[in-house]
Amino acid sequence: MSNAILEIENLETHYGKIHALRSISFSVREGQIVTLLGANGAGKSTTLRAISGLIRTTSGTIRYMGEDITQKPAHEIVKMGLIHVPEGRKIFKGMTITENLELGSFSLGDDAERKRRMEHVFDIFPVLYERKSRDSAFLSGGEQQMLAIGRSMMTNPKLLLMDEPSMGLAPFLVQQIMKIVLRLNKEGVTILLVEQNAKVALKLADHGYVLETGRIVIRGDAKTLQQDESIVKAYLGE
């Protein structure tokens, strides 16, 4: 697919004797929001970790912007503009918001570009600017998620892998985070979204894949998936 920014072909992974992913194949076109759905343990986070180089695959191929990155180390994948926003935020407590953001720009050698990127993050998240000198340990859950997303933006990503950005947040904060996801997409960032809240994810996404025990069992246009009552009841917990 000529305009696919990400192509996954027959991806297999194991955790010891556990067969975590079973012949996963899908693609993400440039400019899309694509969502991976399924119950806990279905393989969604494992898929993201394999793509970003955090775990090794058993077999299969991962292509990003036409290049095979299956065996590339994670730090080289980051430099290519493929950024993973992990589940649980993984911010550095004991460090300020500014220091966390600066760590996200480790691959930038240009101080002027680093400053420009930070100004952009603060434009998206004014609350982070207001508290930029505060220890990140004292941020609320929503603010920590904003910081995790902001840190990912410091590298000027082309593709964002977002793992459960709404986890543990109040409904009004979930809406706020999802508006930010849409804004980033409109600014040109392609997004692969793992989200437990299927209803929210399908409203945002162009395309969706449903995973079950390490396999893709359903794929299709997001609006079609959202309207199919049998799919919703069987796989999306509604």
Measure the CA–CA gap between 84 and 96, rounded to whole angstroms.
Answer: 21
pTM: 0.91
| Boundaries of domain holding 11 | 4-89+158-235
- CATH code at position 194: 3.40.50.300
Arithmetic mean of pLDDT, 172-194: 92
Position 107 in a domain: no
Position 185 in a domain: yes
Position 97 in a domain: no
Position 43 in a domain: yes
Of the listed ranges 23-27, 33-37, 199-203, 231-235, the least confidently predicted one is 231-235
In the prediction, which pLDDT does 238 show? 52
Position 146 in a domain: no
78 contacts 152 by C-beta, under 8 angstroms: no
* pLDDT tens digits along 80-130: 999 999 887 788 888 999 999 988 887 766 788 888 989 999 999 999 999
Measure the CA–CA gap between 136 and 184, rounded to whole angstroms.
Answer: 23
Averaged pLDDT score across all residues of the chain: 89
In the prediction, which pLDDT does 2 show? 54
* pLDDT tens digits along 130-181: 999 989 989 888 888 999 999 999 988 999 999 998 888 888 888 888 999 9
Position 81 in a domain: yes
Which carries the bigger pLDDT value, residue 207 or residue 237? 207
In the prediction, which pLDDT does 114 show? 84
Position 57 in a domain: yes
* pLDDT tens digits along 199-211: 889 999 999 999 9
Percent of residues, the chain, with pLDDT higher than 70: 95
Q: What is the count of structural domains for the chain?
A: 1
Residue 1 has pLDDT above 60, yes or no: no
Position 182 in a domain: yes
